[in-house]
Amino acid sequence: MDDILLVPMTAEFAKCNLAGTKPPGDRWAPDYPLADEADAIRYFLSRGDRPGTPDFGVFGLYVVRDLPDRAAIGGIGFFGPPDDSGIVELGFGIVPSMRRRGMATSALRRALAIARDNGASTVRADTTVDNAASIRVMQKAGMTRTRSADGMVYFETDVTGGAALGCRGEDNPPAND
């Protein structure tokens, strides 16, 4: 589904997100930003105060934007680059007003492609056992449930086989999902 873009989050955008104020000329869904993004954004900003994705390269945070109006509707991001084993972890979220449209699955598939295309071998994510929507998104994106513990469900996928779908950035043409 070609309904979203992943746009690397800049330090400026991250600061606006935390303050709850749109950058000049930007568009946000009425219920953006997500409260769940705040911890990840604070960590992101603690890694450096430079434009782009501080110290993470492509393994930083991304703003999920809908098409055609490019409004910010959520976020997806990595908790840093892959470890020595090639494992990278990520998290994601879409605002309530835009859920149940396949956008989270599209964003996750694109993030899996970013991981694959940049040297990761395995992507991991988790959610609470009662978050059926996130569980379904991870399953639809091809992730496998590996275990449950302490109220959490853990998923992972091997991205070395090329199963992840292509990524489309701000200037790239749509891919056929």
Rounded to 10 degrees, the C-alpha dihedral 164/4/54/89 comes to -40
List of domains in the chain: 4-121 (3.40.630.30)
Q: How many CA atoms lie within 13 A of 93 on its CB side?
A: 16
pLDDT for 169 beyond 50: no
Is residue 2 very low, low, confident or very high in pLDDT (cuts 50, 70, 90)?
Answer: low
What's the first-to-final CA gap in the chain, in angstroms?
5
Does 158 or 53 have the greater pLDDT score? Answer: 158
pLDDT for 176 beyond 60: no
User: For the chain, how big is the Rg over CA atoms in Å?
Assistant: 15
The tokens describing 127, both together, are 């959610």
pLDDT for 35 beyond 50: yes
List the beta bridge partners of residue 128: 152
User: Omega of the bond prior to 68 within 30 degrees of 0, cis?
Assistant: yes
Q: What is the pLDDT of residue 44?
A: 83
User: Omega of the bond prior to 33 within 30 degrees of 0, cis?
Assistant: yes
Contacts of 23 (CB under 8 A, 6+ apart): 12, 13, 16
Is residue 174 very low, low, confident or very high in pLDDT (cuts 50, 70, 90)?
Answer: very low
Q: Contact at 8 Å (CB) between 65 and 7? A: yes
